[in-house]
Structure 1
Amino acid sequence: MNNLYKYLLAGLLTAGSVSCSGFLDTAPRSQLSQKTTWKTAEDAEKFLVGCYDGWESGSTILYMDCLSDFGFSFHAHEGFRAIGNGTMSPSSPGASFYGYATIGRCNLLLKQIEQIPSIPEAQKKRIIAEAKVIRAYQYFTMNFLYGGVPIIELPELADEARLPRKSEAEVRAYIAKDLDEALPDLQASVVRGRLGKGAALAIRMREALYYGDWEIAKNKAKEIIDLGIYSLESDYQELFTVKGQSSTEIIAAVQYLETIKPLYTAIGSMLNNAVGGWSSMVPTANLVNTYEMKNGLTIDETGSGYDATHPFKDRDPRLGMTICYPGANYLNPKGKQLIYNSLDQTITDEKGQQKKNEDYPESANNSSKTGLTWNKYTYPANQYADMWSTNACPIVFRYAEVLLTYAEAENELHGPSADVYAKINLVRQRAGMPKVDEAKYATKDKLRELIHRERAVEFAGEGLRRADILRWKGADGKMLAETVLNGPLERMVGTVNAQGTNPQTRATIDPSASPQAKLVENRTFRPHFRYLPIPQSVIDRNPNFGKNNPGY
């Protein structure tokens, strides 16, 4: 990362600002031009940094689970709530993932690098390869969410950018070509801040997994494993802290630095109201209910030990490391230990007097409406000097995904095996969970249930849930999203005993609370929501685009 940010300091403003950034996202212009000079290898390296700037958004990763049953975003202006509850439309699409700014930069770099006379061949090939990986990732994101988009090279005139959309299959082929061409020229060793072989393979792996290309998904996962440079972090929670940013589990993350390129607002947006946070993106009770008990049984299995009045007791340790729940201890931005209480309307202050509870869901817009907040990336809050401007680096790809992708693909291809169990066990046991019960999960169908659940809780809050509930099917053949995103989103109702010594049992939940008391919002998911609506502004700017996605 150090070298990358040296380039950022030296050249991002001069290189990135004169790129094609936004040329396909703004009102059409009659003539496109760029004044960047391309004379040295350093020019190309600086411009590559401009391509990296925005290759992925750390804030978007953290918000993405709000488009699923595992997250909720209250503040409508942020754009994620409309997609989560199914009220988006072409004219009001909510958060938009459609854009060609980064692709435009990559296209320009790929063209102009050929004008540099003295750049060493190996360096030139690496720069080209990294630009192709960035471009492929952009197309992958849009293609999966929108279902086919225009493939645009570098036009000289704005009219040349007004192209019809390609089919989803055509865009997939374009992505595969970019990644396959890039792979031989990428660095194998982990270079923080750059996309190397592991990242290129991870994009190819995830893309294949999302489309059910099991053989490709498995093979790419195996290629990452065979690189021999990634391993699971021993401490699951530390992986999502500043201290864990150099972990060998991380294949790619969005890089931020406090004093140079900070991640603005995201961490403050996640923290609770009582410490000055916005509670903009919060977990849900649906997620809490997905975690197994620490004995490996689900909460609805006989003998699990689950107590609905104390739902946080004796659960998978990842629940507490991922979610700050009522009754749990947490550290505020000043490092003081507090007890999280989102259940009681009033609480007792340090002087023994009753006062309004700022974290009660109805106390303020900035109170978590689900009564839960995230621990991932926020615990401890005092690791950041300023919660509104941090060096948090949200992870895009990590090794646990490789292991669980291999397991899912291999199970779909050939069913359970010792190899599949072993890879799942690596992830489970790292978190303190027991090995897979091979007798219970002895069939493809049963093991699929476990793999889906394991993936759900392992990556909660990391932005993968929406894609999973779109691609996974229930016994009825419907997308899982049609089940989990239709109906009321509910919170837990109860009280917190601040004098209790066990954080897992301080909260007493009332399972029989009325639906009205528990309601957060009603959600709708129709089959055509598999794809997001193309923003109407895109179609208005490009009459050759074609029709919007069916149903909109």
Structure 2
Amino acid sequence: MIRYRMIKNGLKSCSVALVFALSSCSKDYLEVEPSGEPTIANFYKTPVDAEQALTAAYSPMREMYSRENFGAANANDLVFGDVGTDDILKGGARVNDGPHLYEKEIFSLTTSNSAVEKLWQVNYKGVLYANLVLENVPLIEFDDEERKKDIIAEAHFLRAYYYFDLVNTFGGVPIIDKPLEPGEYNVARSSTEETYNFIEEDLKKAITELPSRFDKGADYLGHADKGAALGLMMRVALYQNKMDQVKTYGEQLFELPYVLADYATIFEPSGEWNTGSIFEVNFSSNSDKLGTLIPRMIGARKKGGVGFSQIKEDLRNEFEPNDPRFDASFYNVPGGYGTEWYIRKYSIAPFSENPKPSVGGNGNSGNNIRIIRLSDAYLMYAEAIYDTDPTTAIGYVNKVRQRARGDNDASVVPDLDGSLSGQALLDAIYHERRVELAGEGFRYHDLIRTDRAEALLGPLGFKKGLHEIMPIPLSQIDLSQGVLTQNPGY
């Protein structure tokens, strides 16, 4: 069962979206207006209410990486997702440090794993908040009808985003398309295909209605736009092996004025919302609990971090000699448990220009989380067409490689041979995804969707037919009184 009753009742005190005062005062104490917390019954009346409700719908996306929810910040793909692969070692202080991660690393997830629980809870919180927007905002009168349309479209994007994380984690899940009333909370699981279809319908609406950020001002950054919806739709299609759709939506995305940015700057403060950034989750370190916990979780213990998600030798060896992306992606701090190699992309000083937090403690960093990048879209597109149009596929891979090479000699990260085709070309694309997106949480999903997990992760404990998805939290099955069914093998 989704904890819908508890979340719905808790919405009235959501600190992100409903921070406004209802109290007033009078000279005559007998005329004092009633005051208190807003409720659903007296909310959703004005465009300001609509904007606040939309902010609430974004908050679970941010919560998955934030200082405010330690458990969720341990459950996202940057920390939890690739542990156990040939790329990432759990790390930490010792072999069994972080039991939720240790279970993932040895392919022995339990139904009480805290990270799995957070993935369920936080994503369904996002679904609820998006549903509340979609249910109530259409009834609000706006002077600016375009903004009303945008708010509704952003909510469709957000609901798709949360469901995409759910389906990749658990397979088919309960589809909730509206706020539920008492007696409706126990909803059975839909199939994986049905869940994906629901996601696609939401994204189609978002693509049709959303503007491009290139037509908006800087204050729009952080909102989902047409490019974000197209990029997410490409990923949704790729994970289903719907290569024709990847091609179609990729071509629409490439009509927008994105340009690959210098790799060395992408994850620096100056690289936030760069010309090749399609979607990011915004964070700020100027107020307590508005920052991200990720740099602390994956930072070296000797430098104030926790030391999780260390880089394995297999991934380091995947890089070609002198590939500038190696130094831009990793750093080494000798000593301590693990490989001693860490992800530079979400680091703070002295390993990047991102400053150490000065407010809210050392787990309150301002690094934005990069969700969709143009190079990822180029490589998704190349993979979609490698067998039907190898020349064009090579061209898109070479765009990524040339940007990686920068001003270096052509022998550094050289262009792919124009005669490549078939499996050799596909392997080259796989290689490029692995090094270009190293440490960004895509490896496990890539191995699952391409059916390479058994061959590459089998020696580490992966079992085909079991570990492609995770267990449904036992607490949710208990709450549902058996309506929710467990994934086989757990």
Q: TM-score normalized by structure 2?
A: 0.81
Is 2:344 the partner of 1:322?
no
| Structure 1 counterpart SS, 2:259 | coil
1:513 equivalent in structure 2: none
Q: Map of 1:47-86 to 2, 5 A cutoff? A: 47-56=53-62, 57-58=64-65, 59=73, 60-63=76-79, 64-75=81-92, 76-77=97-98, 79-86=100-107
2:375 equivalent in structure 1: 400
In structure 2, what is the Cα distance between the partners aligned to 1:379 and 1:187? 33
Distance 1:95 1:549, change over 3 A: closer
Structure 1 unaligned regions, length at least 5: 1-10, 19-32, 294-314, 326-339, 343-358, 362-368, 473-478, 489-522
Is 2:346 the partner of 1:377?
yes
1:90 equivalent in structure 2: 111
Is 2:393 the partner of 1:420?
yes
Question: Stretches of 4+ moved more than 6 A in 1?
Answer: none
Bigger fraction of residues in helix:
2
| Structure 1 counterpart SS, 2:466 | helix
2:28 equivalent in structure 1: none
1:270 equivalent in structure 2: 298
Does structure 2 conserve the Cα–Cα contact (< 8 Å) formed by 1:410 and 1:420? yes
Q: Map of 1:382-531 to 2, 5 A cutoff? A: 383-386=354-357, 387-412=362-387, 414-417=388-391, 419-432=392-405, 433-439=413-419, 442-472=420-450, 479-487=451-459, 523-531=461-469
Deviation track 1:293-312 (CA, whole Å, cap 9, x = no partner) reads 3xxxxxxxxxxxxxxxxxxx
2:46 to 40, 46, 59: 40
Q: Map of 1:82-481 to 2, 5 A cutoff? A: 82-92=103-113, 94-96=115-117, 97-99=119-121, 100-190=124-214, 191-227=220-256, 229-233=257-261, 235-260=262-287, 262-293=290-321, 315-325=322-332, 340=333, 342=334, 359-361=335-337, 369-378=338-347, 380-381=349-350, 383-386=354-357, 387-412=362-387, 414-417=388-391, 419-432=392-405, 433-439=413-419, 442-472=420-450, 479-481=451-453
Identity of aligned residues (%): 29
Does structure 1 conserve the Cα–Cα contact (< 8 Å) formed by 2:132 and 2:179? no
In structure 2, what is the Cα distance between the partners aligned to 1:78 and 1:265? 18
Whichever residue aligns with residue 69 of structure 1, its letter is: D
Whichever residue aligns with residue 376 of structure 1, its letter is: K
In structure 2, what is the Cα distance between the partners aligned to 1:119 and 1:67? 52
Deviation track 1:273-332 (CA, whole Å, cap 9, x = no partner) reads 222222122111121122223xxxxxxxxxxxxxxxxxxxxx42212221114xxxxxxx
Whichever residue aligns with residue 270 of structure 2, its letter is: K
Aligned-CA RMSD value: 2.3
User: Post-superposition shift, 1:224?
Assistant: 0.5
In structure 1, what is the Cα distance between the partners aligned to 2:480 and 2:470? 18
In structure 2, what is the Cα distance between the partners aligned to 1:102 and 1:408? 31
Deviation track 1:64-85 (CA, whole Å, cap 9, x = no partner) reads 3325321122354362332232
In structure 2, what is the Cα distance between the partners aligned to 1:275 and 1:546? 44
User: Post-superposition shift, 1:36?
Assistant: 4.7
Deviation track 1:455-487 (CA, whole Å, cap 9, x = no partner) reads 011001111111001011xxxxxx322233233
| Structure 2 counterpart SS, 1:72 | strand
User: Post-superposition shift, 1:248?
Assistant: 1.1
My pick for the range that moved more, 134-143 or 258-267, is 258-267
Does structure 1 conserve the Cα–Cα contact (< 8 Å) formed by 2:292 and 2:367? no
Distance 1:136 1:380, change over 3 A: same
Structure 2 unaligned regions, length at least 5: 1-12, 21-38, 66-72, 215-219, 406-412
Does structure 2 conserve the Cα–Cα contact (< 8 Å) formed by 1:16 and 1:51? no
